Amino acid sequence: MGSHETMILMVEDDADVHLVVREFLGLPGHRAKLLSALTVEEGIKHFRAHREQISLIILDASLTRYVRRIDTLPILAEIKASGFPRPVISSSSDRELREQMCTLGCTDAVEKGNLLILLRQHL
């Protein structure tokens, strides 16, 4: 991606997924900064602050807080409304939810187990 460092925004409530992606990005040949957001609110804050620098967004299709499912549609709506021109990847184990996220504006959707494969394609 040229001489600049790639910036990736990841909105995901599973800290283990953040760790795996961070370790992947630390491998030789990758130069990327990961903006980690565990909540929709954090994701929106990072998006607003770094919109111009973000090269890729990884968006968990649904977050869980206090056993209650919280969808990520508010951040997806803001991303779409802003005209953000770069890839937005949704991850979920639910096929129907992945399809819905693509319909609503995600560039691609993948099962969480295949996230690194898709990430490699976008770097």
Report mean pLDDT in 10-residue bins for the chain, 123 residues: 72 87 80 87 92 91 61 79 88 83 85 84 78
Cα-flanking dihedrals φ and ψ of residue 95, to 5°?
A: -60, -45
CA–CA dist 96, 90 (Å, integer): 12
Specify the pLDDT at position 68.
Answer: 53
| pLDDT for position 1 | 41
How far apart, in Å, are the Cα atoms of 45 and each of 64, 99, 107? 19, 26, 21
pTM, two decimals, is 0.83
- pLDDT of amino acid 69: 57
Residue 85: DSSP 8-state: -
CATH architecture for the domain at 6-122 = 3-Layer(aba) Sandwich (3.40)
pLDDT at 111: 86
Alpha carbons 4 and 118: distance in angstroms, whole number: 21
Side chain identity, residue 36: S
